[in-house]
Amino acid sequence: MQKGQIRVQTENIFPIIKKFLYSDHDIFLRELIANATDATKKLKTLASSGEAKGELGELRIDIVLDEQAKTLTVSDRGIGMTAEEVDKYINQVAFSSAEEFLEKYKGQQEANIIGHFGLGFYSAFMVSEQVEIFTKSYKEGAKAVRWECDGSPEYSLEDTEKEDRGTSIVLHINNESEEFLQADRISGILEKFCRFLPIPIFFQDKQINNTNPAWIRKPSELTKEDYENFYKELYPYNELPLFWIHLNVDYPFSLTGILYFPKIKQSYEIQKDKIQLYSNQVFVTDEVKEIVPEFLMLLQGVIDSPDIPLNVSRSYLQGDPNVKKINNHITKKVADKLDEIFRNDRKGFEEKWESLGLFVKYGMMTDDKFRDKADHFHIMQDVGSNQFHTLEEYRLATETLQKNKDGKLVILYSTDKVQQDLYIKAAEARGYKIVRLDTIVDASFFNQMEMKWENVHFARVDADITDNLIDKQENNECVLSETEKATLKELFGKQIPELHVTVDIKGLSPETAPVVATRPEFMRRMKDMAALSGSMGGFYANMPDEVTLTVNGNHKVYNSILQNEDKAQQEKLVHNLADLALLSQGLLKGNGLTEFINRSVELMSSEPLNVER
């Protein structure tokens, strides 16, 4: 058996670090500033323990751009390094001084260090042909040293002159990376990655960061104005949010942050990736789908947790049980907040429902634990009275009228109050309650709820004639003879070849429309969802519309139509009645609509019908 140590040749690994350690080259600046932040926080920790003597002075980080010299410099007034420390931490790849420091000063407040991997410094070589370090340790009597390397395994280390404690890293930008010599480019990187770091950062004599963002402060210290001002800082062009949730957890994981519920307009111009993930106030990513449940991806704000496992480049998440715990915690906090608002301020909750409804419905479809809580605060708006009902309230208000033959509660709904007005009025005349379900998620929502809610069925108000909406299959006696029924069925049946039409002659109330067009609930749902889904669209969207024309044989208009001996006019009259019914369903378009208009004008010019028997 042979044992030994794996040998790593620096000349082989160095090009890999330079080229492939980070997917985005602009991360180099974040890494150098994160190191400078750590160096400053280390100094504060040592000062609090008495190990660092004397006045600390102004603790800040400066970014200096010199376009003529083609250099970019990151300077701090932190802990600094001795020659021995430079040799230990810089000349040894992947040896993290942060890890060593954290172990020694575990539990001290200022020891919340960003770095862990010992590789961030080497990102400088992605954009530099040469890197210099000028550093002086905080230790009494320490000499300043200068380190230099051109990206090869060779380096030089020598004594130098430096007045102040701290470290300056000078990057000599290479020809391929001259974009990083532009002030606007540097400002953009600082704005993205460093805007909330805890140490003041200056660029072009201007501080670019907020060192005390709202999410790291205690909720008891913050006012409504503080939360709204922080939202404006994050999203300066947005309307103020509906409300917010402040996350502040110490155990079993560390999590802080503020999640805002934005106003969502009816147009649903929704943008995801609006939640920013930070680790110790360093921006990581705005792709947080592993941490935040999918239905809450429409929220906005900030999450910060040092317990979220990141890859070496701090650019994406790695699998870990803490991620699932944080995900569950956020779901619970959101559900509890919504429930609290509903119980304490129902009127305000109802006023916000147009925006909140999308979050709640999406969550109920995708998360059973959330749905269990949301069943109590999910509300449906009555089309007629505009009153809101929970499921239980709707059930109590309609139980005697709106149960079908299987004993299920039938929730009647409208997707378009104006277009479906005829059907709504007919249903309301029978005492039925119709709710508004007209958002982009509703078709999927009630499909899911029919499976999850016990004994509940949804039916659109125009899915059948009013008499049959609750599936009781009531039939009044029809005054027409069998011969007259057959004649009408033939007249209606030959009118609309482009649709799959079924004609049904029924004896309805004389006040009911002469003909009512309805579409089967299931097929209409599938076509509605197909319009929103490319994957389903290929199958359902191309299927012909199925339409049932229910002819009200008890309507007096048929007395004259059946007695009319002019067969051509008789067919035109029936065609117009059918077109009127199709128009109410939005199924009369293009050439069919033009023919209907022309035919109507023609019929209005002819002798009026005598509708009395």
- Tens of pLDDT, residue by residue over 25-83, are 788 999 899 999 999 999 998 998 888 888 899 999 999 999 999 999 999 999 999 99
Q: What is the pLDDT of residue 96?
A: 46
* Same domain as 90, residue 20: yes
- For residues 111 and 280, give the distance between their C-alpha atoms in angstroms, rounded to a whole number: 11
Amino acid at 508: L
What pLDDT is stored for residue 604 in this prediction? Answer: 84
In this structure, what CATH number is given to the domain that contains residue 539?
Answer: 1.20.120.790
Specify the long-range contacts of residues 138-147, CB closer than 8 Å, at least 24 apart.
138/43, 138/46, 138/52, 138/78, 138/79, 138/80, 138/165, 139/82, 140/53, 142/80, 142/82, 143/82, 143/83, 145/81, 145/82, 145/83, 145/86, 147/86, 147/90
Measured CA to CA, the distance from residue 454 to residue 395 in angstroms comes to 12
Domain-embedded: residue 346: no
Decide which of 304, 332, 360 is a domain's last residue: 332
Return the SS3 of 192.
Answer: helix
Query: Sign of the CA dihedral 578, 474, 446, 268?
Result: positive
- Is residue 2 included in any domain, yes or no? no
CA distances from 76 to 34, 44, 132 (A): 11, 13, 14
Confidence category of residue 500, pLDDT binned at 50, 70, 90: confident
CA–CA distances in Å: residue 151 to residues 85, 126, 426: 20, 9, 81
The reply to whether 424 and 491 lie within a common domain is no
What is the Cα–Cα distance from 418 to 424, expressed in whole angstroms?
A: 9
Exposed e or buried b per residue across 549-561, where buried means at least 16 C-beta atoms within 10 angstroms of its C-beta: bbbbbbbebbbbb
Q: Give tens-digit pLDDT for 421-477.
A: 988 998 998 899 999 998 888 888 988 999 999 999 998 988 877 777 776 555 568
Query: Nearest Cα to 366, choosing from 293, 439, 474?
Result: 293
The range of the structural domain enclosing residue 594 comes to: 482-605
Question: Are 487 and 469 part of one and the same domain?
Answer: no
Q: What integer best gives the mean pLDDT of the chain? A: 83
**Cβ within 8 Å of residue 428, ≥6 positions away:** 384, 434
CA angle at 48 for the pair 44 and 49, rounded to the nearest 5°: 120
Angle of the 27-48 helix axis to the 97-104 helix axis, nearest 10: 30
Q: Phi, psi (5° rounding) for residue 330?
A: -65, -40
Question: Which DSSP string corresponds to 487-505?
Answer: HHHHHHHTS-TTSEEEEEE
Q: Are residues 415 and 562 in the same domain?
A: no
Instruction: Name the residue among 158, 79, 81, 73 with its Cα closest to residue 124.
Output: 73
Are 54 and 167 part of one and the same domain? Answer: yes
Asked whether residue 150 falls in the same domain as residue 15, the answer is yes
Determine the Cα–Cα distance for residues 152 and 154; give it in Å rounded to an integer.
5
Q: Are residues 70 and 181 in the same domain?
A: yes
Evaluate if residue 95 carries a pLDDT over 50.
no
Question: Does 47 fall in a domain?
Answer: yes
Please answer whether residues 583 and 420 qualify as being in contact, where contact means their C-beta atoms are separated by less than 8 angstroms: no
Residue 116 banded pLDDT, cuts 50, 70, 90:
very low
Q: CA-to-CA distance for 393 and 376, rounded, in angstroms?
A: 10
375-384 residue pLDDT tens:
999 999 999 8
Percent over 70 (pLDDT), the chain = 82
Amino acid of residue 14: F
Is the pLDDT score of 536 beyond 60?
Answer: no
Tokens representing 480 are 């027409």
Are 71 and 100 part of one and the same domain? yes
- Domain termination site, one of 474, 506, 532: 474
Nearest to 443 by CA among 502, 364, 528, 365: 528
The 3-state DSSP class for residue 246 equals strand
CA 310 – CA 322 distance, rounded (Å): 12
Q: For residues 137 and 30, is the Cβ–Cβ distance under 8 A?
A: no
Q: Could you tell me if 65 and 199 lie in one domain?
A: yes
3-class secondary structure, 300: strand
204 secondary structure, DSSP code:
T
What DSSP element (H or E) covers 447? helix 442-452
Same domain for 194 and 52?
Answer: yes
Decide if 539 is inside a domain.
yes
Choose from 291-300, 346-355, 538-547, 579-588 the range with maximum mean pLDDT. Answer: 346-355
| 345 within some domain | no
| Structure-block tokens of residue 542 | 């191309």
Q: Who wins on pLDDT, 583 or 339? A: 339
Residue 563 and residue 569: Cα distance in Å, rounded? 11
Q: What pLDDT does 100 receive?
A: 53
Q: Are 397 and 288 within one domain?
A: no
In a domain? residue 63: yes
Residue 419 pLDDT grade (very low, low, confident, very high; cuts 50, 70, 90): confident
pLDDT at 198: 94
- According to the model, what pLDDT value does residue 65 have? 97
41 lies in the same domain as 171? yes
Into how many domains does the chain fold?
A: 4
Last residue of a domain, one of 474, 494, 520: 474
Q: Is residue 5 part of a domain?
A: no
Report the candidate in 192, 191, 204 with the shortest Cα–Cα distance to residue 63. Answer: 204
Measure the CA–CA gap between 551 and 445, rounded to whole angstroms: 33
Tell me, what CATH number does 134's domain have?
3.30.565.10
Q: Which two tokens stand for residue 296?
A: 């809450």
Which residues are CB-neighbours of 478 under 8 A, at least 6 positions away? 485, 505, 506, 507, 553, 554
Q: Is residue 361 part of a domain?
A: no
Q: Which residues contact 441 (CB under 8 A, 6 or more apart)?
A: 358, 361, 362, 365
C-alpha torsion sign, points 519, 521, 522, 525: positive
Contact 61, 32 (CB under 8 A): no
Closest by CA position to 587, among listed 517, 523, 484, 521 = 517
Q: Is 369 left (phi over 0), alpha (psi -120 to 50) or beta?
A: alpha
Give the residue from 561, 583, 266 showing the smallest Cα distance to 423: 583
For residue 146, what is the enclosing H or E element?
strand 145-149
Q: Label residue 204 left, alpha or beta by phi (over 0 means left) and psi (-120 to 50 means alpha).
A: left
